[in-house]
Amino acid sequence: MKKIVIAIDGNSGCGKSSTSKAIARQLQYIYIDTGAMYRAVTLFFIKNNIDLKNDLDVEEALKQIDISFEYNMETGKNETFLNGENVEHSIRQMDVSNLVSPVSEISRVRRKLVEQQRRLGAEKGVVMDGRDIGTVVFPDAELKIFMTANLEVRAERRQKELLEKNTNVELKEVIDNLENRDTIDTSRADSPLKKADDAYVVDTSNITFEEQVNQILKLVKDNIEVE
Ligand code: DC
């Protein structure tokens, strides 16, 4: 069957990554979590005390960053590596979540990551999730999905996810973080989060995980048959 690029964009915490993973598994596609790439850069900046306002520091730091993904046979998950070190756990912590949106506002950072994302998707057969995949990274993607869900629902889901990883965070803190990231992600000058004109909207506020996966799989099927 013909392989396509599936671009999945949307707000923080609306279930993009778990949905994308499930779709990739069903279709035997590669899944690329671009948020993890911005998170890995943020972790490097935190560890090395990089001043986000200092262009030269940022440029030098970016030269030292190598991000890769490896499939973990035991967990069945694609894990993120920063300069050869598995950072899958640390990039999900609140210190990274609190700084990742300001880091992803920096055009230099975006240029480096977008270039790598285009390379990773060049062969197609890929599900890529993020904020600018359908608008900037792959504007010609064969299928674009824009996922949304209301803030309360997103916060509760994110809190549960963190709890499953043994991180206990107050709901209020999760809500504040999501709201703050929504504001920065949608209003930044470079590649703001917005729905591509030709994207399908999937609102996950009141549907089950299985339903959202099936909705998208149906769109994939329709799309491939039309081509
Ligand atoms: O998907 P996530 O919540 O792990 O993403 C973390 C942050 O990275 C998000 O707040 C904005 C940024 N991001 C981005 O600017 N562009 C992308 N393609 C993916 C993520």
Q: Which domains does the chain have, with CATH numbers?
A: 5-222 (3.40.50.300)
Q: pTM for the whole thing?
A: 0.93
For residue 166, what pLDDT band results from cuts at 50, 70 and 90?
A: confident
What Å distances lie between residue 94 and 40, 47, 89, 147, CA to CA?
A: 13, 14, 11, 23
Any alpha helices (H) in 131-195, and if so which ranges? Answer: 151-164, 171-187
Cα separation, 142 vs 220, in Å, equals: 9
Q: Is the pLDDT of residue 227 over 60?
A: no
End-to-end CA gap in the chain: 11
pLDDT digits (tens, 9 = 90+) for 112-138: 999 999 999 999 999 999 999 999 999
Cα separation, 172 vs 159, in Å, equals: 10
Mean pLDDT of 43-72: 97
Could you tell me the distance, in angstroms and rounded to a whole number, from the CA of residue 36 to the centre of ligand 1? 7
Average confidence score pLDDT of the chain: 94
Q: What is the dihedral of CA 4, 69, 42, 21, to 10 degrees?
A: 50
Closest protein CA for atom 1 of ligand 1: 35
pLDDT digits (tens, 9 = 90+) for 76-117: 788 999 999 999 999 999 999 999 999 999 999 999 999 999
Closest protein CA for atom 3 of ligand 1: 12
pLDDT of 226 reads: 59
Cα separation, 17 vs 225, in Å, equals: 25
Name the burial class of residue 164, with classes exposed (0-12), middle (13-18) and buried (19+) by CB atoms within 10 angstroms of its CB.
exposed
Q: Is the CB of 88 under 6 A from ligand 1?
A: no
